[in-house]
Chains A and B, each alone.
Chain A
Amino acid sequence: MKSAVVQLPGLNRDRDMIAALTKISGKAPITVWQTETSIPDDVDLIVIPGGFSYGDYLRCGAIAARMPVMQAIKEKAEKGVKVLGVCNGFQILVEAGMLPGALMMNASLKFVCKEVKLEVVNAETEFTRAYDKGQIIRCPVAHHEGNYFVDAETLKSINGNGQVVFRYADGTNPNGAIDDIAGVVNARGNVLGMMPHPENLIEAAHGGTDGRGIFASALDVIAA
């Protein structure tokens, strides 16, 4: 299982993501720069980390979503390669049209940096097999534009298709996201976007390991 971490100007969570992938799979990911037009064929998981790509100019993720590397990622996703976008990575995936909806400014108008609780709504995706359906996990969030929005019709369809993977639980919705949605997959189930940062809760030094399951699932290293 080989992974790749995308790097763009302004993304700043790439090192945390590289550390998480390395620790969990035992193998360092390759890095892919924004101008690259292809991704090696042996990569099974592409991760777009968090940060503030292009200074969040225009809209969060809008400019990054139109860089050459995104075309290469789209082509890989169409072939079934797994793609995970966290925080700004999620914003980039919705701006690229790879996931439904949009991420708007937090209802509080404030940047939130805290721990929330997430319900694993769908434990049958390639990213959540390590969890049980309905399991509540802890996860840190840090964002200003995490207020997920979809129109009523799309909301119905993503709920019906099992595309809502994570919901903020126990009243911890930090941003006003519609239906408490914290993470969604595409219809095929191989592209996941989520606002919380599972890479920051993977070892005892972080104060917990609840985020580990996402990487263990996606990297196929679930302990028996």
Chain B
Amino acid sequence: MTVTLKNGVLDPQGKAIEGALGSLGFEGVHQARQGKVFDLELDTADRAKAETDLKAMCDKLLANTVIENYTIAID
């Protein structure tokens, strides 16, 4: 699961990172956003169930949906 701040929510760490990239000479970098990645191993082989569970985990704990979005990838 990847959790990032929603668009429109100021991300001061993202801003600082963007500034640092600029000072290293990487030009044309915009909208840097810092987020979190959660890697989990699940016992189930049922993909649909895994997706449902992971979504619930994000909604209930891993993301604060007032300020954060999340995406889920399963492999």
Q: Tell whether A pairs with B.
A: yes
Binds A, one of B25-33, B41-49, B62-70: B62-70
Give Cα A150–Cα B64 distance, bound, in whole angstroms: 12
Task: Decide if the interface of chain A is mainly helix, strand, loop or mixed.
Answer: loop
Give Cα A58–Cα B64 distance, bound, in whole angstroms: 10
B61 touches A102 (CB 8 A): no
B67 touches A109 (CB 8 A): no
B64 touches A106 (CB 8 A): no
Chain B hits for A105, CB < 8 A = 12-13
Chain B hits for A104, CB < 8 A = 9-10, 12, 67
Interface string of B1-33 (1 = CB under 8 A from A): 000000011101100100000000000000000
Q: In the complex, how many angstroms separate the beta carbon of B12 from the nearest chain A beta carbon? A: 5
Counting chain B CB atoms within 10 Å of each CB, which of A58, A95, A104 scores highest?
Answer: A104
Q: In the complex, how many angstroms separate the beta carbon of A108 from the nearest chain B beta carbon? A: 8
Interface size on B, residues (CB 8 A): 12
Q: Which residue of B lies closest to A110 (CB)?
A: B12
Q: Which residue of B lies closest to A105 (CB)?
A: B12
Chain B hits for A176, CB < 8 A = 10, 12
Known: A58-B61, A58-B62, A62-B61. A102 touches B67 (CB 8 A): yes
- Complex interface residues of chain A between 103 and 146 (CB less than 8 A to chain B): 104-109
* Partner among A62, A102, A107, A151 whose Cβ is within 8 Å of the Cβ of B12: A107
Give Cα A151–Cα B12 distance, bound, in whole angstroms: 17
B64 touches A59 (CB 8 A): yes
B16 touches A149 (CB 8 A): no
Q: Which residue of B lies closest to A106 (CB)?
A: B12
Give Cα A151–Cα B5 distance, bound, in whole angstroms: 13
Known: A58-B61, A58-B62, A66-B61. A149 touches B67 (CB 8 A): yes
Chain A hits for B60, CB < 8 A = 66
A107 touches B10 (CB 8 A): yes
Known: A58-B62, A62-B64, A102-B64. A149 touches B9 (CB 8 A): yes
Give Cα A149–Cα B65 distance, bound, in whole angstroms: 12
Please tell me if A101 contacts chain B, counting CB pairs below 8 Å.
yes
Give Cα A149–Cα B12 distance, bound, in whole angstroms: 13
Give Cα A163–Cα B48 distance, bound, in whole angstroms: 42
A102 touches B66 (CB 8 A): yes
* Partner among B10, B12, B16, B64 whose Cβ is within 8 Å of the Cβ of A95: B64
Chain B hits for A109, CB < 8 A = 12-13, 16
Interface string of A55-68 (1 = CB under 8 A from B): 00011001000100
Chain A residues close to B by CB (< 8 Å): 58-59, 62, 66, 94-95, 101-102, 104-109, 147, 149-151, 176
Chain B residues close to A by CB (< 8 Å): 8-10, 12-13, 16, 60-62, 64, 66-67
- The 8 tightest CB contacts between A and B, nearest first, are A102-B66, A102-B67, A107-B12, A109-B12, A102-B64, A59-B64, A105-B12, A149-B67
